[in-house]
Structure 1
Amino acid sequence: MKENNDTQPHEGKTIRTMIVDDELLARRGLSLRLDHYADIELVAECANGREALAKIAELSPDLVFLDIQMPGINGFDVVEQMQSDDMPLVVFVTAFDKYAVEAFEVHAVDYVLKPIEDCRLETAINRVRQQMQQSDVNNQKQRLMDLITNITGKDPAQIDQLLQNGHDLSGQYPEKLSIKDSGRTTLIPVKDITWIEAAGDYMCIHSNNPKQVNVLRSTMKELESKLNPALFQRVHRSTMVNIDCIQKICSHINGEYFLILDDESKIKMSRSYRSKIKHII
Structure 2
Amino acid sequence: MIRALIVDDEQMAREEMQALLEATGEFDLLMPCANGFDAIKAINEQRPDVVFLDIEMPVINGFQVLSMVDEERMPHVVFVTAYDEFALKAFEEKTLDYLLKPVEPERLTLTLSKLKSMLHSGQTPHYDTPDLKRIPCSTGRRVKLVDVDKVECVFTDLSGVHLRTADSTLCTDLTLKVLEQRTPLVRCHKQYLVNLSSVDEVQLHDGGTATVLTRSGHDVPVSRRYLRQLKECLSF
TM bucket, shorter chain: 0.5 to 0.7
Equivalence for 1:80? 67
Aligned alpha-carbon RMSD (Å):
2.2
- Which aligned pairs between 1:129-148 and structure 2 lie closer than 5 A? 129-137=116-124, 140-141=125-126, 143-145=127-129
In the alignment, is residue 15 of structure 1 matched against residue 2 of structure 2?
A: yes
CA pair 71-156 structure 1, distance change in 2 beyond 3 A: farther
**Secondary structure of 2:51's aligned partner:** strand
Give the drift of 1:157: 5.0
The reply to whether residue 71 of structure 1 matches residue 61 of structure 2 is: no
Q: 109, 133, 137: which one pairs with 1:122? A: 109
Residue type at the aligned position of 1:79: L
What one-letter code is carried by the residue in structure 2 that aligns with 1:48? Answer: N
The whole-number CA distance in structure 2 between the counterparts of 1:38 and 1:144 is: 32
Aligned-pair CA distance for 1:118: 1.1
Deviation at 1:44, TM superposition (A): 1.9
Match in the other structure for 1:7: none
C-alpha displacement at 1:134, in angstroms?
1.2
Please, which runs of 5 or more residues in structure 1 have no aligned partner? 1-13, 146-154, 159-281
Q: How do 1:242-257 and structure 2 match up within 5 A? A: none
Query: Is the CA contact (8 Å cut-off) linking 1:48 and 1:70 kept in structure 2?
Result: yes
Residue of 19, 25, 34 corresponding to 2:21: 34
- The yes-or-no answer on 1:101 pairing with 2:79 is no
Cα distance in 2 between the residues matched to 1:71 and 1:34: 25
- Equivalent residues in 2 for 1:183-222, closer than 5 Å: none
| Matched position secondary structure for 1:79 | helix
Contact 1:77 1:156 in 2 (8 A): no
Q: SS of the counterpart of 1:121?
A: helix
> Paired residue for 2:45, among 32, 38, 58?
58
How many Å separate the matches in 2 of 1:48 and 1:29?
17
Query: 2:99 matched to 1:112?
Result: yes
CA distance in 2, matches of 1:131, 1:44: 23
The separation in 2 between residues aligned to 1:108 and 1:68, in whole angstroms, is 12
Gaps of 5+ in 2: 134-236
**Against the structure 1 CA distance between its residues 156 and 123, is the aligned structure 2 distance closer, same or farther, given a 3 Å change threshold?**
farther
* Counterpart amino acid of residue 106 in structure 2: C
Separation of aligned partners in 2, 1:27 and 1:144: 26
Judging changes above 3 Å, is the alpha-carbon distance between structure 1 residues 25 and 58 closer, same or farther for their aligned structure 2 residues? same
Distance 1:105 1:130 in 2: 21
SS in 2 for 1:116: coil
Please say if residues 79 and 99 of structure 2, whose CA atoms lie closer than 8 Å, have aligned partners that are also in contact.
yes
- Equivalent positions of 1:156-175 (< 5 A) are none
Distance 1:105 1:124, change over 3 A: farther
Instruction: Say which SS state the counterpart of residue 58 (structure 2) adopts.
Output: coil
Change (3 A) 1:79 1:102: closer
Query: Structure 1 residues 48, 88: closer, same or farther in 2, change over 3 A?
Result: same
Please report how far the alpha carbon of residue 101 of structure 1 lies from its aligned counterpart in structure 2 after TM superposition. 2.4
Rounded to whole Å, the distance in 1 between the matches of 2:40 and 2:128 is 16
Partner of 1:251: none
In the aligned structure 2, how far is the partner of 1:106 from the partner of 1:70? Answer: 17
- Contact 2:77–2:95 (CA<8 Å) still a contact in 1? no
Deviation, 1:109, is 1.5
CA distance in 2, matches of 1:144, 1:135: 19
CA deviation after TM superposition for structure 1 residue 86, in Å = 1.0
Distance 1:105 1:129 in 2: 22
Where 1:19 maps in the other structure, the secondary structure is strand
- State how far apart, in whole Å, the 1-side matches of 2:95 and 2:40 are: 22
- Which residue does 1:24 correspond to in 2? 11
Give the AA of the match of 1:129. Answer: K
Residue 57 of structure 1 deviates from its aligned partner by 0.9
| Secondary structure of 1:41's aligned partner | strand
Larger radius of gyration: 1
**Distance change >3 Å, CA 94–CA 109, structure 1 → 2:** same
